[in-house]
Amino acid sequence: MLLTDATAATRGVSCAAMAWFDRVRPRHDGALAATVGGIIDRVKHRNAALELDERDRLDGSACLVTGANRGLGLAIAKDLARRGGDLILACRSGLDAARADVASAAHERASVEARELDLARLSSVESFCDRLAADGVRLDVLVLNAGVVPREARKTEDGLDESFQVNVLANVLLVQRLRERGLFVAEEGVWPRVVVVSSESHRSAPPLDWDGFGSFRPWGMREAVKQYGYGKLLLQTWTAELARRTRGELAVHSLCPGAVRTDIGREAPGLTKPLLELTMRAFFVEPERAAAPAVYLAASRRLEHETGIYLHGKRRREPREDTLDADNGRRMWERSAALLEALGHPLAPAKERG
């Protein structure tokens, strides 16, 4: 296929911009670099396609989406509901509005409910899983979408950095508790799917620091994006290890949705917000379109018996090399378990899991 002059010119600009961004990427300590990177990613991948057809249905499948009350999570939940999935919306706030919004888009036979889940409180994760188990829920799809970008270090009631807890450790506890309680059940050889919303910002994060794992330290606004990227690096490392350990039990995939027009930057400094909002309106994709990779990983029948896929936008790609290292995966697994135990949330030994 021949490229139009406009397309060729756009790609030329994209390549030049990418070369510049590769030089500044190691510094990646502010929202500007993250924003530019997101714009470039969108230009590079805008013509890619993920193939979903009428056979990629979720009728009768129980689908749980975290952070489903707005933005990308809401868009993912609505698309899964359109495909017939029975949705459980796990949200910290806005439960009634989210349920009504998703129900309005759902297939006529799909059910929608909303349940409170606050990842900034590990006790909330525990009670959430207890309620699901007590209600006899069995999950076919779990989308770990919820995330936060605080403007500074904040301690949770558990004594952890909010960014680390919400973006990393609470997800570990959530998935392990769901496994322990037998809420994932493979039927007729079909593996339940776990889809993790990650970020390309993990590539520019500093090296993994196992000695300082989970420790709280003060940081300010200039480090917000760096902390977010480091959290995604840890999460991506754990995701790879989960895929290794659960092959035959779960299909575990992850993705970076690209530059999405959401309010995740709502804590950006007041002086930068007008520019950030203008940039998002001009260059970032709306959540309804950005949801496509997550929905593809959750619903595509072509992916049966595959695990460990990483999508950047609409293309398969390998995540950063150290996230795939088995030794790093083992350390991530063990340190997460040790920290949770120290906080009063011990995980059951593997042999006791359902």
Burial of 74 (0-12, 13-18, 19+ CB in 10 A): buried
Is 232 annotated as catalytic? yes
Coil, helix or strand at residue 315: strand
Choose, from 44, 226, 228, 314, the residue flagged as catalytic. Answer: 228
Max intra-chain CA distance, the chain: 61
> What single string gives the DSSP state of each residue in 189-233?
TBPPEEEEE--GGGGGSPPP-STTTT------GGGHHHHHHHHHH
Give the angle 196-198-203 at the CA atoms, nearest 5°. 145
Choose, from 78, 232, 296, 314, the residue flagged as catalytic. Answer: 232
Strands, sheet with 141-144, edge to edge from the N-terminal-most edge strand: 112-116, 86-91, 62-66, 141-144, 193-197, 251-256, 310-312, 315-316
Q: How many CB atoms lie within 10 A of CB 151?
A: 16
Is 310 annotated as catalytic? no
Which position has the token pair 């396609």? 49
Strand partners, 87: 63, 112
Give catalytic residues, as residue numbers: 228, 232
